[in-house]
Amino acid sequence: MTGKDIEQRHEEQLKGSSGGGGIRAYLLHRAKPYLPPWLGAGTIGVTGAAANLVWQGDTGMGVLLTLGSVALTGSTWWAAKGTGKERRLHSAITVAAGSSWFTSAALFGPSWDMWFVGGIVTALSWNVRQIMRRDPDGAKASSSDGGLMEKIGLAKAKMGAAKVEPNRVTVPVALEAGTQSNDDMAKALVNVASALDIPATAVRYLPDPNSARRGDLVIVPMDMLADTVRWEENGPSLPGGSITDPLVLGVYDDGSPLMLWLPGDPNAGRNATHLLIAGMTGAGKGDGALNLMTEILSRTDVVLWLNDPKGFQDFRPLLPGIDWATDATGTETMVEAVVSVIPARTSWLGAHRYRQWEQAAAGAQNDPAHSCRPDGACGCPGLPFLVSWFEEAGVSLSVLGDDAFNNIANLARAAGVALVVSLQRPSHDQISTTTRDALGSRLCFGVPNATAAGFMLPDAAIDAGAAPERWSNRRPGYCYLVTPGVDEGRYSSPGRTRWFTPSAISLMEAVAGWAARNGADIGSVTADAAAKAVGKAYTERARHQEENPEAGDEDEEETVSQLDDEDRDIDPNEELPPARPGEENIVFDQGDGVELSREEARTALQEIVAQFEDEGTMVIGVVDVMEHAERFGRKRGWVSGELQQMLQEGRLAITAKPGRYRIVPVMADA
């Protein structure tokens, strides 16, 4: 019967007949639950007196009764093992006392004084226990958690009033002082999920930073991520907005938006950040990258540089909106360019009195507070935010070394540059821990094991219940986001990015076309620094144009010609003109094995370096030159020494990786 049924029956009894029969019936009914202990005590007294008439002085029966008393007490202790400690002990003592009195009464005669006092005390103890079990306050306290804490092994923990939101329940928890801590609650989360029969990822615990035994238990009863959301259904979240507005990637499991910021905001107390994206094959990392990239391209004050060793397999529809895109051959060049533009950008920001990049820096500088002149507004063109994205960075790092991005990660935030690094597993053998720690934001998709999760997520998020290894790659798009500007309690909440289908390509192309027409211009500060560092690799970069129906070209890349103006009309099939005086002394191939003179070889090496520059290959090493140097009989030691000489002469510059050199463009000083 429910509590309401009991109260109703009680009310009916109180309103019943007031006659003698009604009162007696009511009293008897109320006394019934408390009669069994008294009946038991009476039964023992009667049977003990009767047994004395049969077995008085019987030694053999005394031994049997003693053994029976011990066996009965042990059986009671064993049978009560599923009950509470207090009930088990109370039952065993009662049985031991009753069987001992019965044995003594049967052999030596009943001791009625002991029976009277002992029977009353024993019966009353069980009556008191029964009354306390029905205490309304105790029942209310017990029902507050439905016995949940007892089931998970934290019986003395207290749960407060639950805060119920749409698909989210938050319950304050106070653990027992001195014996329980927040660590115990974090370890019991799987048991909580089991008790509630919900997925393990639907339960998390958010410790109170000011207490070692208090926190909030968060339960998300319904997985709102199960239904896949197509990106093309909504497209970018804020077309025409600023990069300082949140970038929406999807939703959390309670339906709230999954979003991050790349620039900092001192008013909001948010630092600028870099982003590390990681997840195993098939976990949805590619769609997550597309969500972020389309958000970036839909903003008006940001420029995107992309390096993709896969040759833009996923990103090709977005290329018209990207300022500079390189494949595997241009990775080193882009790294050197980004490193070189950082001081130029920080110098501009400092001259215009910006401690960090902010939205006002992207427009014309008409505010005297941000002027590089002491006598009023300078009107200088703005400096857009720059995102430098290295996709499948594991391939790049295998070539450049695990610390290739160290300088960028440590210096770029102050320059209004965000570094995005995407790879499958950010372990120490892939990327240096220094770089990984400098990438303040993490977008973690499914991983194969808890060790891989530890490379991406902070310990606090894992302790609170974050476990991307639980879904691995079985739920593409499921992820955890750790980033400044988002409440740390959200770090352990799973989200899901939106899904890109083949039908999204047309909208992606529209976003890229919009970005090409309305996006930010790179600006002279960044462009000049990049050109000075890598020359034609940037100034003659491939420009991916929008589809032009009138021209009939569906997917065309327009590249600025690398020929000088006076050479544009040369027919490549014509015979070369006779060598002019002095040119016949430069020989690149001695088929007869005759070595060039030192000056001839040095001239040939300079021509090879110039050829690399013309082709846009701005980072070289001995191994690259040897492919050409072998034609004129020079060894690696000679080539290495000559490159060092060119380094001293300023034709080459050092890079982050030992043994690799950046070609200094011929016109860089000009």
**What is the model's pLDDT at position 566?**
47
Residue among 279, 205, 242 nearest 497 (CA): 279
To the nearest 10°, report the CA torsion of 55, 56, 57, 62.
Answer: 50
Q: Are 196 and 156 in contact (CB under 8 A)?
A: no
Residue among 232, 309, 124 nearest 511 (CA): 232
At the topology level, CATH places domain 143-219 in Threonyl-tRNA Synthetase; Chain A, domain 2 (3.30.980)
pLDDT under 70 in the chain at which residues? Answer: 1-22, 26, 133-146, 543-595, 629-633, 667-670
**What is the model's pLDDT at position 46?**
86
Chain segment 287-324, per-residue pLDDT in tens: 999 999 999 999 999 999 999 998 898 999 999 999 99
CA distance 255 to 232: 18
Backbone angles phi, psi at 650, to 5 degrees: 90, 0
Residue type, 21: G
The two tokens of residue 125 are 């103890």
Q: Are 258 and 248 in contact (CB under 8 A)?
A: yes
Residue type, 474: R
Q: Are 429 and 402 in contact (CB under 8 A)?
A: yes
**Within its chain, how far is the Cα of 359 from the centroid?**
27
**What is the model's pLDDT at position 22?**
66
**What is the model's pLDDT at position 564?**
47
CA distance 619 to 332: 6
Q: Which residue has the tokens 């009991």?
A: 6
Residue among 533, 539, 531, 526 nearest 382 (CA): 526
Q: Domain 231-529's class?
A: alpha beta
Residue type, 492: S
Residue among 538, 661, 566 nearest 608 (CA): 661
Residue among 537, 591, 133 nearest 329 (CA): 537
DSSP at 535: T
HEC letters along 605-633: HHHHHHHHHHHCCCEEEHHHHHHHHHHHC
β-strand pairing of 275-278 with 441-445: parallel
- Sequence-distant (6+) residues with CB within 8 A of 38 are 119, 123
Q: For residue 237, with 0-12 CB atoms within 10 Å meaning exposed, 13-18 middle and 19 or more buried, which class applies?
A: middle
The full set of domain ranges for the chain reads 13-134, 143-219, 231-529, 586-663
Chain segment 442-486, per-residue pLDDT in tens: 999 999 999 999 999 999 999 888 999 998 899 999 999 999 999
pTM greater than the 0.75 cutoff: no
**What is the model's pLDDT at position 153?**
82
What 3-state DSSP class applies to 145? coil
Q: Is CATH 1.10.760 the classification given to domain 586-663?
A: no
For the chain, first and last CA: distance in Å?
94
- Sequence-distant (6+) residues with CB within 8 A of 64 are none
What 3-state DSSP class applies to 465? coil
**What is the model's pLDDT at position 135?**
52
Q: Which residue has the tokens 């009560």?
A: 80
DSSP at 427: -
The two tokens of residue 231 are 């990106």
CA distance 388 to 398: 19
Query: Nearest-5° angle of CA 591, CA 595, CA 601?
Result: 110
The CA–CA distances, whole Å, from 136 to 31, 33, 139, 142, 290 equal 19, 17, 5, 10, 58
Q: Are 276 and 441 in contact (CB under 8 A)?
A: yes
**What is the model's pLDDT at position 545?**
56
Report CA Rg, the chain: 40
Residue among 630, 628, 620, 629 nearest 651 (CA): 620
CA distance 232 to 547: 20
**What is the model's pLDDT at position 428?**
84
Beta bridge partners of 389: 306, 420
CA distance 337 to 618: 10
